[in-house]
């Protein structure tokens, strides 16, 4: 180990001895080391990153959640086919299917002791559909679009009036965005220019979930403490969770192997591959549903507005090298298919592209660039352990067909904001759809009316029509046909080129219990514990 790493570890361990949680029973404290922490306490905020989803999940409650199931290896996993109570004890769908009425817990309180009421639910949902950006589109994915849909029947009864019958409405209520905020507290910090208290909620929490944020030092540490007044589930056995940001992957691994950290879930695939061959730590790897790493091309400006140029890039990528050198096979290949139209509606599934440099050069010439061109290839430094080696391999391969790329390394805290600007011509990115339905992924990533994760600004009315039909049809056979059609169209137009479906890898001490895989890829502290 390098000398500076020893100094770092020594300093970090000295610092942790000053944290009060570590002076208490370690069985009640979970120490997590991670590369990047939250950049906001508000999941509704502009540019909130993925670690912010974890804050939302543990600090706020939702009306409903999901059931769970046990995988063959004993790992717990959420069950997207089963909905379960959280703040709502029960719900009733109207006979015409056009409204759902929820009965709320009467003993639920926020962290400051304020009772949770239907007024809080309405204000929170009104906020989500009105604030714009990601949360508004997330709600829209379940046809939750207007404040007028949300009705306070009485203090503990809340109704949603549906705009249409949508298979995604109820599942959408169980995702991290559909949080219930302490409206009374938040309103105290609202202003005429900031009616939703976005500035205050970015740095403060107004929740009632199982954990509170006791301290947050951006770029360093987030300290959670259990909320003993939580009523939406069994009281967690963990009293404290320390999430420490340790940028160096080698330091995170060393802390785990020394037993000074309990868990990490963002080590490089190389480390997970090596650790899985030993028996000191428990390693769990689960394919992330509805998720992929991809190369994306901005289709509204030359040269990537030309489909032949995009197809040329797809035939030039070194897929196997990327799987070998960047991901160490901690994922499922999404390339090499031979179909012109897929035989199944499974998603994600391999696209019909494999390396073929001769074909790539021919397509590039047909697209008007026989001598290639220069562009910028951007990636997220917060995920550099896989993003950077992937970028280097893509850069090397594209150079062989005359495309010269300059790497643009964007800090993790700024990546989401950079994506939303929609001005990067060529990117390496990953996306995972929370709800495990093909049309949900395509709604976010391909629909022309979606301004958020359609990062390539792709618009095709024919594809939009297919996505919408899949969302609302009740004909199972027709649904299967429509999904196959829009997958085929996306492969032909190829605004994004799938690389692989990654694993969510977790490394933990063997005395850590209760880990559960969730679609949002963050830790759920509520059922975790230590033996």
Using alpha carbons, list the distances in angstroms from residue 509 to 238, 282, 301, 321, 329: 15, 6, 49, 32, 23
Dihedral, CA of residue 180, residue 116, residue 103 and residue 89, to nearest 10: 80
| Residues counted in the chain | 531
- For 218-375, where are the alpha helices, taking DSSP H only? 249-258, 269-275, 307-316, 319-325, 357-366
User: What confidence tens digit (pLDDT) does each residue in 63-91 have?
Assistant: 999 999 999 989 999 998 999 999 999 99
| Closest among 127, 133, 8 to 60, alpha carbons compared | 127
Please say whether the beta carbons of 26 and 20 come within 8 A: no
Find the angle CA(37)-CA(205)-CA(188) to the nearest 5 degrees: 145
From CA 360, how far away is CA 338, in angstroms rounded?
Answer: 17
pLDDT for res 18: 44
d(CA 417, CA 447): 20
Tell me which residue of 523, 509, 519, 42 sits closest to 242, measured CA to CA: 523
pLDDT at 17: 45
Selection from 57, 61, 55 nearest residue 204 by Cα: 55
Distance, C-alpha 19 to centroid of its chain: 30
pLDDT of res. 385: 84
The CA-atom distances, in angstroms, between 169 and each of 146, 205, 433, 435, 521 are 13, 26, 15, 11, 21
pTM of the model: 0.85
Domains of the chain: 3-262+509-530 (3.40.190.10), 291-503 (3.10.105.10)
- Answer whether 289's CB lies under 8 Å from 434's CB: no
Q: Tokens representing 511?
A: 């005395």
Per-residue pLDDT at 506:
96
Phi and psi at residue 239, in whole multiples of 5°?
-100, -25
The answer to whether the beta carbons of residues 216 and 205 sit under 8 Å apart is: no
Mean pLDDT by 10 residues, the chain (531 residues): 40 46 73 94 92 97 96 92 97 97 98 98 98 92 96 98 94 97 98 97 98 96 98 97 94 96 92 94 95 97 97 98 96 96 97 98 98 97 90 98 98 87 95 92 88 87 95 93 98 98 96 96 96 91
**The pLDDT value given to residue 371:** 97
């Amino acid at each position: 180990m390098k000398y500076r790493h020893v100094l770092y570890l020594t300093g970090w361990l000295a610092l942790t001895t000053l944290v009060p949680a570590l002076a208490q029973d370690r069985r009640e404290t979970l120490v997590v080391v991670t590369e990047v922490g939250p950049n906001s306490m508000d999941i509704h905020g502009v540019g909130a990153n993925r670690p912010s989803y974890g804050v939302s999940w543990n600090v706020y409650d939702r009306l409903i959640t999901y059931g769970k199931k046990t995988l063959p290896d004993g790992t717990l996993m959420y069950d997207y086919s089963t909905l379960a109570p959280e703040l709502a004890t029960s719900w009733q769908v109207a006979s015409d299917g056009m409204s759902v009425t929820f009965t709320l817990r009467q003993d639920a309180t926020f962290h400051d002791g304020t009772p949770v009421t239907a007024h809080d639910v309405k204000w929170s949902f009104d906020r989500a559909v009105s604030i714009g950006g990601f949360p508004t589109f997330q709600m829209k994915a379940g046809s939750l679009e207007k404040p007028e849909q949300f009705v306070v029947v009485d203090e503990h009864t809340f109704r949603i009036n549906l705009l249409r019958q949508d298979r995604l409405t109820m599942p959408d209520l169980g995702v991290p965005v559909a949080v219930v905020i302490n409206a009374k507290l938040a309103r105290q910090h609202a202003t005429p220019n900031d009616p939703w208290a976005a500035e205050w909620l970015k740095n403060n929490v107004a929740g009632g979930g199982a954990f509170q944020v006791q301290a947050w030092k951006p770029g360093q540490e987030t300290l959670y403490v259990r909320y003993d007044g939580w009523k939406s589930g069994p009281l967690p056995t963990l009293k404290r969770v320390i999430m420490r940001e340790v940028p160096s992957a080698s330091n995170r691994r060393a802390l785990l192997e020394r037993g000074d950290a309990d868990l990490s879930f963002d080590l490089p695939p190389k480390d997970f591959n090596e650790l899985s061959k030993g028996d000191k730590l428990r390693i769990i790897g689960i394919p992330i549903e509805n998720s992929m790493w991809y190369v994306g091309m901005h289709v509204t400006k030359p040269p990537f507005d030309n489909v032949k140029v995009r197809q040329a890039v797809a035939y030039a990528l070194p897929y196997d090298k990327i799987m070998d050198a960047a991901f160490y096979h901690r994922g499922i290949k999404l390339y090499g298919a031979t179909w012109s139209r897929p035989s199944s509606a499974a998603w994600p599934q391999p696209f019909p592209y494999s390396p073929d440099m001769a074909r790539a050069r021919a397509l590039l010439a047909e697209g008007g660039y026989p001598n290639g061109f220069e562009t910028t290839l951007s990636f997220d430094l917060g995920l550099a352990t896989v993003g950077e080696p992937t970028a280097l391999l893509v850069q090397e391969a594209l150079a062989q067909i005359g495309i010269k790329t300059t790497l643009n390394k964007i800090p993790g805290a700024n990546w989401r904001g950079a994506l939303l600007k929609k001005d990067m011509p060529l990117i390496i990115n990953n996306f995972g759809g929370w709800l495990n339905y093909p049309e949900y992924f395509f709604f976010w990533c391909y629909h022309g009316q979606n301004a958020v994760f359609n990062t390539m600004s792709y618009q095709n009315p024919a594809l939009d029509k297919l996505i919408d039909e899949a969302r609302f049809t009740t004909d199972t056979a027709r649904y299967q046909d429509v999904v196959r059609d829009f997958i085929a169209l996306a492969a032909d137009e190829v605004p994004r080129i799938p690389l692989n479906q990654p694993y969510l890898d977790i490394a933990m001490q063997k005395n850590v219990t209760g880990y559960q895989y969730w679609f949002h890829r963050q830790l759920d502290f509520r059922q975790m514990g230590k033996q």
